[in-house]
Structure 1
């Protein structure tokens, strides 16, 4: 029980620090995927504005990105993995409360946004602590489209995408 309390305290501290960081889309494309010519309509997905603030904890980090769907077919982000973490979980935030989610819908001609103070990724059981200036390889798995592997840059703990600092 003591470990769970420490994890929740760390998560709360991290969430507070991340809320101070602010967020917006930086417009950089990290990768894209689209369906092949198999005759089935698949979402046309691209990722932009991805980053991980340098973690303040040795065992946990957060991640943010925007997934844009340019097609008329919806999709769903079903899992995320990374070689830097034992597991990567997806969380929604509503009314200040974080909740783990099994998947997130990506609407046709729409976006799925993971940002500070909102939906976010949690890199848990870190195998190594990501440092500012490094990149972290992340695999995004979708219900309809093929998997997408991206490189997420590690920024300062107080990075604000709208100012670039």
Structure 2
């Protein structure tokens, strides 16, 4: 039976190439995923959230809102110079990424319904202009967590 496995794999690969080649530029779409998420343990009824949204697709999309059962509201902020401002959406470029990090773009969880503790996770749903929503779990880290050092 092993001799059938190679031709089947070749057929699947050829089919994938054929299907990939069929679409024109009109078929380009965002292919989104979430990684590197974390929330420093909050010390008040507000918390910040950080993550990376990668787009392996050929079309850009926009993050338009974020919801979570853990907070009354979640807002999207960008940092320009030394000031932060709430925005309605942020671009997720084609074949690029949107990074939320300390000192830069971030999510603000306001009116927390409970005080998340280190080791717990906060579930969010990310909403986009074109792609469907993505659910993600954000692990709660220590209040002084730095992803560069892992502490």
4+ runs deviating over 4 angstroms: none
Distance in 1 of aligned mates of 2:29 and 2:123: 24
2:33 matched to 1:56?
no
Deviation at 1:135, TM superposition (A): 0.2
- For structure 2, the residue ranges without an aligned partner over 5 or more in a row are 1-25
Q: What secondary structure is seen at the aligned counterpart in 2 of 1:111?
A: strand
3-state SS of paired residue (1:137): strand
Q: State how many pairs are aligned.
A: 126
Give me the whole-angstrom Cα distance separating, in 2, the residues matched to 1:113 and 1:129. 25
1:152 aligns with 2:149: no
2:76 aligned with 1:75, yes or no?
no
Work out which of the residue numbers 75, 81, 104 in structure 2 matches 1:118: 104
* TM-score, normalization by structure 1: 0.74
What is the TM-score normalised by the length of structure 2? 0.81
Greater Rg over alpha carbons, structure: 2
Task: Give the structure, 1 or 2, with the largest relative contact order (CA under 8 Å, sep 6 or more).
Answer: 1
Any gaps of 5 or more consecutive residues in structure 1?
A: 1-38
d(CA) in 2 for partners of 1:156 and 1:97? 24
Match of 2:31 in 1: 44
